């Protein structure tokens, strides 16, 4: 068991990770901006903005954490390599620093293992630049002084408490017996990992000496098409889906969005695929992902327990389908 710091432990993968750490008996501290945590007095809390370099250095210098899990990213402001390194260098005598990166760190690559080059600093997407830049900076520390870093690169993360409008987007429509819009021919590939599986992988990365200085693709080994995804979501919900295929150009021309409402295929879900090879995590960490539909079932049970009082707005989809002669 370890004295562990979780940077960002109150949302989604952070919650899944903290639950696993507490269950195994770790002494857990969470560094976050909120005034409270979901875990009460079971954790120690450091209230701090991880993007504030001076504040992070001040609160972490001299601390005795054995393991740090750095899994927070500020979607409004971005989180840069400088801000990540401030936390990494503030703690001495660390046994492991596990950094949550992303498949996005590969940039525009299409089928990758962990030895593929990361995106250049000239990449137009700030999220891609920040994740790739943070990894480079951490691995420089490892090369210079043996800093015990391991980085994890997940694709789409799913599961209970997902803050993004993803699985719920489809179940809201499937359970209302509405048509599901499929962009293009539905063949675009997607890869996933369950939040609790990702938390398991993060802990495994602290337990294997092989992990130091390495990166890992943490994903279901088999990708699914967008059409297959919708069918899997429908099976979990016990509904027969009604699919409407519309080319992407039309969806965008009619006002459909990927990053903000109105979403035509959930939030951020219609992106060019980057397919990850996952053998290294299996062979070096002993990581295995759960069955995909088993994970979706877990997410669906959570979805059904939510008190969803907010009225759903299908007006954009209704107008789109009407303009195309559908229903």
Residue 202 phi/psi, 5-degree rounding, is -60, -40
Half-sphere exposure of 276 (CA within 13 A, CB side): 28
- pTM equals 0.95
Residue 227: per-residue pLDDT? 98
In a 10 Å sphere around its CB, with 0-12 CB exposed, 13-18 middle and 19+ buried, how is residue 117 labelled? exposed
pLDDT tens-place string over residues 146-191: 999 999 999 999 999 999 999 999 999 999 999 999 999 999 999 9
| DSSP assignment of 45-76 | EEE--TT-HHHHHHHHTT---SEEEE----TT
For residues 219 and 276, the answer to whether their CB atoms sit within 8 Å is yes
Give the three-state DSSP class for 145.
helix
Give the three-state DSSP class for 176.
coil
> How many Å separate Cα 304 from the centre of its chain?
22
For residues 214 and 114, the answer to whether their CB atoms sit within 8 Å is yes
How far is the C-alpha of 55 from the C-alpha of 97, rounded, in Å?
19
How far is the C-alpha of 256 from the C-alpha of 250, rounded, in Å?
9
How far is the C-alpha of 90 from the C-alpha of 43, rounded, in Å?
21
327 has a pLDDT exceeding 60? no
Give the three-state DSSP class for 253.
helix
Residue 310: per-residue pLDDT? 76
| DSSP assignment of 294-325 | HHHHHHHHHHHHS---SPP--HHHHHHHHHTT
Residue ranges per domain, the chain? 3-157+192-217, 162-191+222-274+292-321
Question: Cα dihedral sign for 245, 236, 10, 129?
Answer: negative
239 has a pLDDT exceeding 80? yes
pLDDT band at 326 (very low <50, low <70, confident <90, very high): low
pLDDT band at 109 (very low <50, low <70, confident <90, very high): confident
For residues 192 and 158, the answer to whether their CB atoms sit within 8 Å is yes
Give the Cβ contact number of residue 124 at 10 Å: 9
Angle between helices 13-23 and 195-207 (to 10 degrees): 50
Q: Which pairs from 304-313 meet CB under 8 Å and 24+ separation?
A: 308/172, 312/172, 312/176
107 has a pLDDT exceeding 90? yes
Give the three-state DSSP class for 29.
strand
The reply to whether 162-191+222-274+292-321 shares the fold of 3-157+192-217 is: no
159 versus 72: the higher-pLDDT residue is 159
In a 10 Å sphere around its CB, with 0-12 CB exposed, 13-18 middle and 19+ buried, how is residue 194 labelled? buried
256 has a pLDDT exceeding 70? yes
What's domain 162-191+222-274+292-321's superfamily in CATH? UDP-galactose 4-epimerase, domain 1 (3.90.25.10)
May I ask the CATH architecture of the domain 3-157+192-217? 3-Layer(aba) Sandwich (3.40)
Structure token digits, residue 223: 């990708």
How far is the C-alpha of 289 from the C-alpha of 219, rounded, in Å?
7
Quick one: average pLDDT of 288-294? 97
Kindly list the distances between the CA atom of residue 196 and the CA atoms of 141, 203, 298, in Å, as whole numbers in the listed order. Answer: 29, 11, 10
């Amino acid at each position: 068991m370890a004295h562990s710091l979780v940077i960002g432990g109150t949302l989604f993968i952070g919650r899944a990770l903290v639950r696993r750490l507490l269950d195994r008996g770790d002494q857990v501290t969470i560094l976050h901006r909120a005034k409270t945590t979901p875990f009460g007095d079971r954790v120690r809390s450091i209230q701090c903005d991880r993007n504030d370099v001076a504040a992070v250095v001040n609160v972490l210098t001299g601390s005795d954490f054995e393991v740090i899990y750095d899994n927070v990213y500020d979607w409004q402001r971005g989180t840069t390599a400088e801000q990540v390194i401030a936390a990494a260098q503030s703690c001495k005598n660390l046994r492991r620093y596990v950094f949550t990166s992303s498949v996005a760190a590969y940039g525009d690559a299409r089928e990758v293992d962990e030895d593929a080059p990361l995106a250049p600093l000239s990449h137009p997407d700030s999220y891609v630049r920040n994740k790739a830049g943070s990894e480079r900076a951490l691995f420089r520390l490892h090369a210079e002084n043996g800093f015990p870093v391991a980085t994890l690169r997940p694709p789409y993360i799913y599961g209970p408490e997902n803050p993004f409008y993803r699985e719920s987007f489809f179940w809201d429509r499937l359970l209302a017996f509405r048509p599901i819009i499929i962009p293009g021919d539905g063949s675009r590939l997607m890869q996933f990992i369950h939040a609790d599986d990702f938390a398991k992988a993060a802990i495994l990365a602290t337990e294997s000496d092989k992990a130091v200085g390495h990166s890992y693709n943490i994903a279901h080994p088999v990708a699914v098409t967008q059409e297959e995804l919708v069918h899997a979501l429908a099976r979990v919900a016990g509904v027969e889906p009604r699919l409407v295929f519309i080319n992407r150009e039309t969806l965008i021309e009619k006002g459909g969005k990927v990053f903000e409402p109105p979403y035509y295929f959930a939030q951020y879900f219609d992106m060019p695929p980057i397919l990850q090879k996952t053998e290294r995590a299996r062979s070096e960490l002993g990581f295995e992902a759960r069955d995909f539909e088993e994970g979706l079932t877990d997410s669906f049970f959570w979805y059904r327990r939510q008190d969803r009082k907010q009225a759903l707005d299908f007006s954009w989809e209704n107008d789109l389908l009407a303009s195309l002669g559908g229903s």
